[in-house]
Amino acid sequence: MTTWGGKLDDVDEEQLRQQLRTETDAKAIKRLTCALLYRQGKSPAEIEQLL
């Protein structure tokens, strides 16, 4: 589990959403979903429970 921190601060949430719409690789989809949830304020522990 990753610790809570300022990771992804420079990543645009809309870019993540656009990439998620076109992605077909299951692992990439999961990573993008995790990144979106993290950007929305979910902690790594919450994301771990959700997924």
Q: Please count the helices (runs of H) and the strands (runs of E) in the chain.
A: 3, 0
Tokens matching residue 38? 């993290």
Domain residue spans in the chain?
Answer: 13-49
What pLDDT, in 10s, does the model give residues 5-14? Answer: 667 777 888 9
Residue 39 has pLDDT above 60, yes or no: yes
What pLDDT, in 10s, does the model give residues 8-36? Answer: 777 888 999 999 999 999 999 999 999 99
pTM of this structure: 0.77
Q: Is there a contact between 42 and 34 (Cβ–Cβ < 8 Å)?
A: no
* pLDDT value, residue 12: 85
* pLDDT value, residue 11: 80
* pLDDT value, residue 5: 61
